[in-house]
C-alpha cells in the first residue's frame, strides 16, 4: 500500500509537469527512460559511454531475431565469408552531419576497439576494398564470432574517421602492440617484458587521451550514423533528433526521441501510469502491476525472457572465495526461491543448480540423467553447516563462522544502486547469510560507478548479471560471458586452469573456444555444453538466483501507436538491448504519431 501511495503521489506530480510542459511540444515524439553520463561528452569510449542512446546512435551490420533465426540487414546490405575474410557491403549513407559513411570508418573503428578495449583481436586486419566494401580478416571463422561481428553495435560506428581520425595513428600503434601480445598468449608463449612495458605505457597514455575527448565540447555535437542523434542533454532529460541522412530516414515518422532519467524503478512506474513515457521495462512488484490497468487502461504488458540470470558473483582475487567449500556452503545457505520472490516475483526459479544454462533452455541442452550427476544446491542450511565443519570451519559462541585458521568469515556484498531489483536481492542475500552466521555487510555502488568498481576489482561479492544469452540464444553466448567476457573480467575466475571432471582434467576457457566453433552442430555442441555445465555447477564461479523475465510496458494511443501484436517475433529482439526493438519499429515506420 505504501508503494501504491507513493506512485499515486508521483503520478500527480508528473501529470502537473506534463500539463505545464505540453504546450511547448511542437512535433511528434516518443518517450522512454534510461540513464546517461552527465555532463554528456558524446564519446563511446568515455566514462559511461552515451548511456541509453547507444542503439539509437550506433548501428550494427544486422539485427538478429531469435524467434525466427532471421538476420535483418542494418548498416550492411549483404555479407559473405571468403576464406578467412568476412566481406561486408555497406549501405550508402551519411553521418548526421552530412559526412559520407565509408569503409574507412570501419577501419578506424576496429583500430579503436583494439586499442581501447583489447577486443576483438580475432580481427587480424581490415581491408578497405572500396568506399562501400570492407573485408575483416579473421583469425577464426567460427559461427559464434561471425554472429557477434554482425550484430554487436560496437563493431562499426563508435569512432567516425572524420572525428577520431586525428588519433588513428596512435590507435593503430597501440592496437598492433596489444594484438601481438594477445597472439603470443594464444600460442602459450612468454610475452617479453619490454614488449609488455612498451604496450602498457603507450596504451595508458592513449586511453587517457581518448577518454578525455568530448565531441560535444570540441565540435559542438555528436555525429551519428544511427537513427537519432543526441542534440540536447541535461541532467534530467536527453533529447535525440532524427538523423535526416539515415538510410531509412524516409520511413521514420517520429522525429524526436525524449529520454527521462531512470532515477529509480518507482519513478518509472509512476511515469508509465501518468503517461509521461511510452515504454519501459522496470521490475515491478505484483501488487503494483495489479493496479496498473485501473490507473491507466491504455498501458499494455508484454513479458519475454531476458535470456539472462541474476547471480551472486565472487572476486577470486580475495583469498576467502578461493575456497570451494565456502562457495558451496553459501549456495546451500541461500533460499534462492525467496530471493527471487523478493527481487522479481515474475522471474523463473533457478533454486536447484548453478550450471550456467538458462532454466528456460535447460531441457533443450541438458538431459535429466545428466542433471542427476550434478550437485543439487537446493536450500539446505544443514548441509551448508555440515560441509563447513568437515572442512575445519567452526562456529563460535557469538554465532559467527570462522575459517580453519580462526578468522571470522566476513565479507561485503556490493550492488549497483540504480538497479532496485538487484538491491532488493542483495539485501535479502545479506540478511540470509547473516542469519546463517557469516558477518556480511551491504555496499551500494553509486550511479555511474558500476564498471569502475567491478572491473577494478573493488568488491568482494556482488549481485550482477550471471549467464546471459543476449542477441544469440545459445549456451556459447553464456559460457563466453562467464569464462571469457564480462563475468570473467569481474570475477577473475581462473578459467584457463584445469578442473577435474568425469572426462578428465578440462580447461573451461578452451572448452568455450571449442563450443563457439560448433554452434551450428547441435550434437557436438551438447557435448561441450555438458562439460561446461559440469565445471560451472561443481566449481561455482557464481550462484544464480533467478532467470530474469523482461516485463515490457508500453502505452498505446497517447503519443504513438503501431506497437506489434503480443505474438510478433520482433519482441524477441529485446533481450540484451531492448532499444533495438524501438529502433527497428521506428525505422520501419511502424511506430507512428497518434493522430
Which CATH number is 96's domain given? 3.90.76.10
Nearest to 438 by CA among 312, 571, 351, 551: 312
C-alpha grid cell, residue 457: 576489482
Q: Which domain does 452 fall in, by range?
A: 306-548
Q: What integer pLDDT is reported at residue 6 of this predicted model?
A: 53
**pLDDT at 375 exceeding the cut of 50:** yes
Q: How confident is the model at residue 46 (pLDDT cuts 50, 70, 90)?
A: very high
Q: What integer pLDDT is reported at residue 293 of this predicted model?
A: 77
Q: What is the mean pLDDT of the chain?
A: 94
User: Does a structural domain hold residue 136?
Assistant: yes
CA distance linking residue 42 with residue 21, whole number of Å = 27
Q: How far lies 173's CA from each of 115, 167, 204, in Å? A: 8, 10, 13
**Cβ neighbours of 32 (radius 10 Å):** 23
User: Does a structural domain hold residue 451?
Assistant: yes
CA distance linking residue 138 with residue 130, whole number of Å = 19
User: Does a structural domain hold residue 364?
Assistant: yes
* CATH assignment of the domain containing 422: 3.10.105.10
Q: How confident is the model at residue 10 (pLDDT cuts 50, 70, 90)?
A: low
The counts of H helices and E strands in the chain are 23, 22
More confident residue, 326 or 297: 326
Q: What integer pLDDT is reported at residue 143 of this predicted model?
A: 86
User: Does a structural domain hold residue 233?
Assistant: yes
Residue 222 makes CB contacts below 8 A (sequence gap 6+) with 42, 50, 57, 215, 216, 229, 230
Over residues 420-467, the pLDDT tens digits come to 899 999 999 999 999 999 999 999 999 989 999 999 999 999 999 999
What is the per-residue DSSP string for 506-573? E-HHHHHHHHHHTTT-HHHHHHHHHHHHHHHHHH-SEEEEEEEEEEEEEE-SSSEE-PPPTT-GGGGG
Q: 3-state secondary structure string, 335-364? A: CHHHHHHHHCCCCECCCCCCCCCCHHHHHH
**pLDDT at 1 exceeding the cut of 80:** no
Question: How many independent structural domains does the chain possess?
Answer: 3
Do 426 and 310 share a structural domain? yes
Q: How far lies 428's CA from each of 334, 347, 408, 423, 463, in Å? A: 9, 16, 21, 9, 11
Cβ atoms of 564 and 322 within 8 Å: the answer is: no
Do 521 and 451 share a structural domain? yes
Lowest mean pLDDT among 194-203, 283-292, 356-365, 420-429: 283-292
Question: Across residues 333-338, what is the average pLDDT?
Answer: 98
Q: What integer pLDDT is reported at residue 23 of this predicted model?
A: 45
User: Does a structural domain hold residue 397?
Assistant: yes
| Phi, psi of 572, rounded to the nearest 5 degrees | -70, -10
CA distance linking residue 235 with residue 38, whole number of Å = 6
Q: How confident is the model at residue 264 (pLDDT cuts 50, 70, 90)?
A: confident
* Three-state DSSP state, 85: strand
Question: Across residues 459-488, what is the average pLDDT?
Answer: 95
Q: What integer pLDDT is reported at residue 11 of this predicted model?
A: 52
Over residues 311-321, the pLDDT tens digits come to 999 999 999 99
Q: How confident is the model at residue 278 (pLDDT cuts 50, 70, 90)?
A: very high
Do 338 and 272 share a structural domain? no
Do 475 and 340 share a structural domain? yes
**pLDDT at 212 exceeding the cut of 70:** yes
CA distance linking residue 460 with residue 580, whole number of Å = 34
Q: Is the previous residue joined to 509 through a cis bond, with omega within 30 degrees of 0?
A: no
**pLDDT at 7 exceeding the cut of 50:** yes
**pLDDT at 287 exceeding the cut of 90:** no
Q: How confident is the model at residue 493 (pLDDT cuts 50, 70, 90)?
A: very high
CA dihedral 364, 368, 373, 379 (to 10 degrees): 90
**pLDDT at 26 exceeding the cut of 80:** no
Which residues partner with 65 through β-bridges?
70
Q: What integer pLDDT is reported at residue 3 of this predicted model?
A: 55
* CATH assignment of the domain containing 267: 3.40.190.10
Q: What integer pLDDT is reported at residue 21 of this predicted model?
A: 47
User: Does a structural domain hold residue 46?
Assistant: no
Nearest to 159 by CA among 257, 45, 330, 71: 45
Between CA 470 and CA 479, with CA 474 as vertex, the angle to 5 degrees is 80
Give the pairing type, strands 299-314 and 70-73.
unpaired
Question: Across residues 365-376, what is the average pLDDT?
Answer: 98
Does the model's pTM come out above 0.85? no
Do 65 and 94 share a structural domain? yes
Q: How confident is the model at residue 20 (pLDDT cuts 50, 70, 90)?
A: very low
Do 576 and 529 share a structural domain? no
User: Does a structural domain hold residue 48?
Assistant: no
Q: What integer pLDDT is reported at residue 22 of this predicted model?
A: 46
Q: How far lies 304's CA from each of 286, 338, 475, 591, in Å? A: 16, 22, 18, 20
The dihedral through the CA atoms of 481, 485, 489, 492 has a sign that is positive
Q: 3-state secondary structure string, 436-489? A: HCCEEEEEEECCCCHHHHHHCCCCCEEEEEEEECCCCCCHHHHHHHHHCCHHHH
Do 342 and 448 share a structural domain? yes
The residue with cell 524516409 is 250
Asked which of 216, 238, 273 is the last residue of a domain, the reply is 216
**pLDDT at 5 exceeding the cut of 80:** no
**pLDDT at 504 exceeding the cut of 70:** yes
Q: What integer pLDDT is reported at residue 19 of this predicted model?
A: 44
Do 199 and 147 share a structural domain? yes
**Cβ neighbours of 534 (radius 10 Å):** 23
Question: Across residues 561-579, what is the average pLDDT?
Answer: 95
Do 322 and 191 share a structural domain? no
**pLDDT at 340 exceeding the cut of 50:** yes
Do 209 and 279 share a structural domain? no
User: Does a structural domain hold residue 2?
Assistant: no
Question: Across residues 545-566, what is the average pLDDT?
Answer: 96
Do 385 and 269 share a structural domain? no
Over residues 48-107, the pLDDT tens digits come to 999 999 999 999 999 999 888 899 999 999 999 999 999 999 999 999 999 999 999 999
Give the pairing type, strands 85-90 and 76-82.
antiparallel
Do 123 and 262 share a structural domain? no
Q: Is the previous residue joined to 411 through a cis bond, with omega within 30 degrees of 0?
A: no
CA distance linking residue 252 with residue 486, whole number of Å = 35
**Cβ neighbours of 236 (radius 10 Å):** 10
Cβ atoms of 238 and 38 within 8 Å: the answer is: no
CA distance linking residue 212 with residue 218, whole number of Å = 11
**Among residues of the chain, what percentage have pLDDT more than 90?**
88
Asked which of 173, 197, 216 is the last residue of a domain, the reply is 216
Q: What integer pLDDT is reported at residue 103 of this predicted model?
A: 99
Q: What integer pLDDT is reported at residue 24 of this predicted model?
A: 54
The dihedral through the CA atoms of 166, 170, 174, 175 has a sign that is positive
What is the per-residue DSSP string for 301-326? EEEEEEEEEEEEEE-TTSGGGG-HHH
Residue 77 host element (H or E):
strand 76-82
**Cβ neighbours of 124 (radius 10 Å):** 14
Amino acid at each position: 500500500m505504501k508503494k501504491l501511495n507513493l506512485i499515486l503521489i508521483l503520478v500527480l506530480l508528473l501529470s502537473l509537469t506534463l500539463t505545464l510542459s505540453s504546450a511547448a511540444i511542437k512535433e511528434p515524439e516518443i518517450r522512454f527512460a534510461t540513464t546517461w553520463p552527465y555532463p554528456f561528452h558524446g564519446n563511446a569510449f568515455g566514462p559511461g559511454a552515451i548511456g541509453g542512446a547507444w542503439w539509437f546512435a550506433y548501428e550494427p551490420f544486422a539485427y538478429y531475431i531469435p524467434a525466427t533465426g532471421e538476420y535483418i540487414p542494418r548498416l550492411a546490405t549483404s555479407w559473405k565469408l571468403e576464406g578467412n575474410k568476412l566481406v561486408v557491403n555497406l549501405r550508402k549513407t551519411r553521418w548526421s552531419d552530412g559526412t559520407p559513411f565509408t569503409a574507412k570508418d570501419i577501419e578506424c573503428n576496429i583500430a579503436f576497439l583494439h586499442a581501447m578495449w583489447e577486443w576483438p583481436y580475432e580481427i587480424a586486419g581490415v581491408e578497405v576494398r572500396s568506399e562501400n566494401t570492407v573485408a575483416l580478416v579473421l583469425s577464426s571463422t567460427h559461427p559464434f564470432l561471425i554472429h557477434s561481428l554482425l550484430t554487436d553495435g560496437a563493431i562499426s560506428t563508435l569512432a567516425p574517421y572524420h572525428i577520431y581520425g586525428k588519433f588513428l595513428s596512435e590507435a593503430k600503434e597501440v592496437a598492433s602492440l596489444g594484438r601481438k601480445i594477445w597472439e603470443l598468449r594464444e600460442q602459450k608463449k612468454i610475452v617479453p617484458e619490454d614488449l609488455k612495458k612498451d604496450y602498457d605505457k603507450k596504451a595508458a597514455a592513449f586511453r587517457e587521451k581518448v577518454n578525455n575527448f568530448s565531441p560535444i565540447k570540441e565540435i559542438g555535437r555528436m555525429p551519428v550514423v544511427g537513427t537519432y542523434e543526441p542534440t540536447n542533454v541535461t541532467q534530467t532529460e536527453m533529447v535525440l533528433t532524427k538523423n535526416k541522412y539515415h538510410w531509412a530516414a524516409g520511413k521514420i515518422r517520429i522525429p524526436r526521441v525524449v529520454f527521462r532519467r531512470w532515477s529509480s524503478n518507482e519513478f518509472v512506474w509512476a511515469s508509465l501510469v501518468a503517461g509521461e513515457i511510452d515504454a519501459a521495462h522496470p521490475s515491478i512488484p505484483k501488487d503494483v502491476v495489479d493496479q496498473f490497468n485501473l490507473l491507466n487502461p491504455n498501458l499494455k504488458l508484454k513479458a519475454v525472457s531476458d535470456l539472462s540470470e541474476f547471480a551472486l558473483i565472487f572476486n577470486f582475487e580475495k583469498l576467502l572465495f578461493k575456497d570451494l567449500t565456502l562457495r558451496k556452503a553459501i549456495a546451500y545457505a541461500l533460499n534462492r526461491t525467496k530471493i527471487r520472490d523478493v527481487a522479481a516475483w515474475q522471474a523463473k526459479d533457478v533454486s536447484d543448480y548453478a550450471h550456467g544454462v538458462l532454466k528456460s533452455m535447460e531441457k533443450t541442452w541438458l538431459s535429466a540423467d545428466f542433471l542427476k550427476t550434478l550437485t543439487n544446491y537446493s536450500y539446505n542450511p544443514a548441509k551448508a553447516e555440515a560441509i563447513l565443519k568437515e572442512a575445519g570451519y567452526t562456529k563460535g559462541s557469538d554465532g559467527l563462522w570462522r575459517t580453519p585458521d580462526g578468522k571470522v568469515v566476513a565479507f561485503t556484498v556490493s550492488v549497483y544502486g540504480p538497479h532496485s531489483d538487484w538491491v532488493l536481492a542483495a539485501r535479502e542475500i545479506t540478511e540470509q547469510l547473516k542469519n546463517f552466521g557469516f558477518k556480511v555487510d551491504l555496499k551500494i555502488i553509486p550511479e555511474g560507478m558500476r564498471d569502475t568498481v567491478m572491473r577494478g576489482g573493488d568488491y568482494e561479492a556482488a549481485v550482477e548479471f550471471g549467464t546471459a544469452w543476449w542477441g544469440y540464444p545459445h549456451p556459447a553466448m553464456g559460457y563466453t560471458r562467464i569464462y571469457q567476457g564480462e563475468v570473467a573480467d569481474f570475477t577473475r575466475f581462473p578459467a584457463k586452469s584445469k578442473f577435474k571432471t568425469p572426462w578428465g582434467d578440462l580447461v573451461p576457457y578452451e572448452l568455450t573456444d571449442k563450443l563457439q566453433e560448433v554452434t551450428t552442430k547441435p550434437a557436438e555442441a551438447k557435448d561441450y555444453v555438458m562439460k561446461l555445465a559440469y565445471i560451472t555447477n561443481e566449481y561455482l564461479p557464481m550462484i544464480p538466483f533467478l532467470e530474469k523475465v523482461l516485463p515490457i510496458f508500453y502505452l498505446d494511443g497517447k503519443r504513438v501507436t503501431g506497437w506489434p501484436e503480443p505474438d510478433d517475433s520482433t519482441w524477441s529482439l529485446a533481450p540484451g538491448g531492448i532499444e533495438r526493438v524501438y529502433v527497428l519499429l521506428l525505422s520501419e515506420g511502424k511506430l507512428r504519431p497518434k493522430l
